Structure 1
Amino acid sequence: MFVGHAAVAFAIVAGGAVRRGWTAERVLAVGLLAGAFAALPDVDIAYALVGVAAAASGDALSLATAFWSTGNLVHRAVTHSLILAPPVALVAALAGPARRDTRLGAFALAAGVVVLAWSVSGPLGAVVTVPFVIGAMALGVLARRYTDHAPPTVFAVGLVGLVTHPFGDLVTGEPPAMLYPLDTALVAERLVLAADPTLHLLAAFGVELATVWAAVAVAGAATGLRPRTVVSRRASLGAGYAATVLLIPAPTLDLSYPFVFSVLGVGLVGALPRVRLVGTADGPTVEPPDWVVAGLTGLSAITVAWLAYTVAYVVVG
């Protein structure tokens, strides 16, 4: 759900801005800011690089295992807390204005969050929290420099991004510690979308695709873009991905990498240039697609590939 977190926040915040009649530029700016805040909690997974470094001589599967086994030591705790989301959003809002008193307030509040994490989770908790609050401050500064949004808006947008993030993790792993630092679980078990582990993974992937399409729809509403008018017919090539049901292991949450990386690779068809060998005065031509066509065609191809694989798995399995 790495992309899905940002897409959900973008769709919610930008959708609200569209309903309020904001200009396309302001809608996209506030939506991107919300998406950045929603992605920020996963900064805690950076600690997983320690495990990757230790397993650098292993194969791809060993590296992936080391990444998650190390990252999960601190993942989905302090940075995924609904209780700490308001103060961290406030850190971002206070860091933006170029006033000494508000900047000092941001630093003091950020330091308080780090101290709290240290007292509850020890040095490792503090190590993870430092980039979290620094990232929030950076987003606040960027919001001041590149948008016209006031600190209250930055706080509200940041809060939406930080609060929505942990709910997206309820189907992809261990539930986050959403009430951290309290030793109480708001949700104790993963939400199961299907009894079959492969269908659960495919359903979770479908949910993420749906969030991305929701963000695309909102962006289209803001800019007047109609995705169906720019998607190339090459997206239908994704249907051929169904054949991989016979070639790769059935994906589950414990072994998702072969499926995820290969199905995302299908999206590269969107970047293929259009080649014309005949019919032009200047001879053969190569026309690369613009980034909108490439992105939406790639996303469509991935969606078709996911649907094709799901149908094939149900039929073959």
Structure 2
Amino acid sequence: MKNVEWKQRAEAGVLLSVAVYLLLAAGKLLAGSAAGSDGVKADGWNNLSDVIASAAVYIGMKIAKKPRDRNHPYGHSRAENISSLLAAFLMMSIGVDVVVSGAGALLHGGKKAAPDWLAAVVALTSAAVMLLIYMANTRLAQRTNSAALAAVAKDNLSDALVSVGAAVGIVGAQLEWLWLDPLAALIIGTIICKTAWEVFMETAHTLTDGFDEKQLAAYREEIAAVSGVRDVVDIKARTLGNDIVLEVTIRVDSRLTVVKSHEIADEVERLMKQRHNIRATHIHVEPEVHMDRRG
């Protein structure tokens, strides 16, 4: 399938998350009020904030599709990374809020009355739906190499865990373990913060031109094995949105013609594109110096 079609599917995955979040938020806010569950209502507000995060990711993906212009010679691909960063900040704010609320309730002895079972049913149904959305978006993120969609998928998983925690708290309250509800919120809030931190670190690494050393070493080894390449003098790589930009300096026999040297460079480009789907490989060719040995 063409790359453009997969990017369209990635955008569809984000839109699906937005639609599901809106439906779940409305259902949880209504059910939480009717059943007297603060946890389910908080989960509903959490989903509404996720709508904002997912919308930011979708806008970032749309901007990333714009072609390069005078002010953006490398294109707009990093708009996706910026949207992932925004999603991480929103997730962290939600996680901190859940942790603070859970810790406060735990210190004050929890709720005085148990919520209705309806709230637990709504929470578990929401968790099941979000797990399905998480699996679908994770698969799409892997196939499209979309960092933004991967961030959305992690947020989907966090929301599923929030809903499970809300259900556990309600069940505990029904069993007169009123402390279990705030404890579950505290644990879930910590998980959300951890997920947000991972998304932030991964995105920050990309935006500062960080790259996997092992992957770069593998590129170097493969290029060095290309016929005509005497040595790989230097190799650098960075990520622009979903695309990898590779910069390589190779050394070839100084007696080769310009045409032959160019053919070797073309072969390196083809290799990187076929094996790793790298569409931008910039190659600089240097001549190998031959020492004139005289007895």
Give the TM-score range, shorter chain: under 0.3
- Structure number with greater Rg is 2
- TM-score normalised according to structure 2 size: 0.28
| Structure in which a larger fraction of residues adopt strand | 2
